Amino acid sequence: MMSGKQYNGQEVSCCIKYFIFGFNIIFWLLGVAFLGIGLWAWSEKGVLSNISSITDLGGFDPVWLFMVVGGVMFILGFTGCIGALRENTLLLKFFSVFLGIIFFLELTAGILAFVFKDWIKDQLNFFINNNIRAYRDDIDLQNLIDFTQEYWECCGAFGADDWNLNVYFNCTDSNPSREKCGVPFSCCTKDPAEDVINTQCGYDVRAKLVTEQAAYIHVKGCVPQFEKWLKENLTVVAGIFIGVALLQIFGICLAQNLISDIEAVRAS
């Protein structure tokens, strides 16, 4: 028996629907991977067996970066993927709004960073010095600081003497550490002929005259080196930010188009 309701030929665009689904399932899987890495790292450090230890670290725990980024990617990927596949307008609207909020926050952060350059520099200095104090407290933080100092060929926030903030490296008479008046190996200038890293190359180096230190370690701070790197790579950094912003706008527009299609089909 034929129904009296005639089909008007309007339907949801399969191209938009499955493009959003395919794009977001990649984000979803990447989010799961990031969260998995973060949970594994916390498990290795015993954090999962003692949740209160999350707040014990005085500096920045790099695992938080994996957890936050992974969490955001998981939520976006899930809502976009399932919303498109099941034609669920509620999930698609959440995806669109959430992506819009992230875009707005990124735009706001970029404007504030440009307007308040000196404040950002002071905060970066505070952040680095705070993590210098906690250098030996967390292996992930230690690796992050070492990578930063090696990559930018720097030492401390504004110089090697910033390592006086760390209990193991300060030059006070009461410091019993063998690393007293030294710096981490990542501050050392590298000898191309050396195949094995000399982890003791920074010992006692700050006990030498300032003019002699440059022969053993990088004397420039990481804040000015980061500024220099940013100026030299401004075009690349700006291109990445613009690319990410355009991708977010494109995602919002596609989601809105799919929502409109779904609502039009249901209303017909």
pLDDT tens digits for range 10-30: 677 788 888 899 889 998 999
**What is the Cα–Cα distance from 116 to 124, expressed in whole angstroms?**
12
Question: If pLDDT is split at 50, 70 and 90, which confidence band does 220 have?
Answer: very high
Judge contact between 80 and 23, C-beta under 8 A. yes
- Tens-place pLDDT, residues 106-142: 999 888 888 888 888 888 888 888 899 999 888 888 9
**What is the Cα–Cα distance from 232 to 216, expressed in whole angstroms?**
26
pLDDT for the residue 63: 84
Q: What number is the average pLDDT over the span 133-162? A: 92
Question: Which residues make Cβ contacts (< 8 Å) with residue 249, sequence separation at least 6?
Answer: 103
Residues pairing with 217 in the sheet: 188
Any idea what DSSP says for residue 188?
B
Judge contact between 165 and 193, C-beta under 8 A. no
pLDDT for the residue 34: 92
Q: What number is the average pLDDT over the span 247-257? A: 91
Judge contact between 63 and 102, C-beta under 8 A. no
Q: What number is the average pLDDT over the span 68-94? A: 92
Residue 1 confidence (pLDDT) above 50: no
Mean pLDDT rounded to a whole number for the chain: 87
pLDDT for the residue 5: 45
Rounded-to-10 torsion of CA 118, 121, 122, 128: 180
Question: If pLDDT is split at 50, 70 and 90, which confidence band does 75 have?
Answer: very high
pLDDT for the residue 7: 42
**Higher per-residue pLDDT: 4 or 186:** 186
**What is the Cα–Cα distance from 268 to 101, expressed in whole angstroms?**
32
**What is the Cα–Cα distance from 177 to 217, expressed in whole angstroms?**
20
Question: If pLDDT is split at 50, 70 and 90, which confidence band does 162 have?
Answer: very high
Percent of the chain with pLDDT over 70: 91
**What is the Cα–Cα distance from 180 to 185, expressed in whole angstroms?**
13
**Higher per-residue pLDDT: 32 or 117:** 32
pLDDT for the residue 64: 86
Alpha helices in the chain (DSSP H): 14-44, 63-85, 89-115, 117-133, 139-151, 210-213, 222-232, 234-267
**What is the Cα–Cα distance from 135 to 158, expressed in whole angstroms?**
16
Rg over alpha carbons for the chain, rounded to the nearest Å, is 26
Distances (CA, A) of 60 to 168, 169, 235: 18, 19, 29
Kindly state the tokens that stand for 235. 């075009």
pLDDT for the residue 56: 53
Give the H/E segment covering residue 53.
Answer: none
- Tens-place pLDDT, residues 34-74: 999 988 888 877 665 555 555 555 567 788 888 999 999 99
Residue 78 confidence (pLDDT) above 90: yes
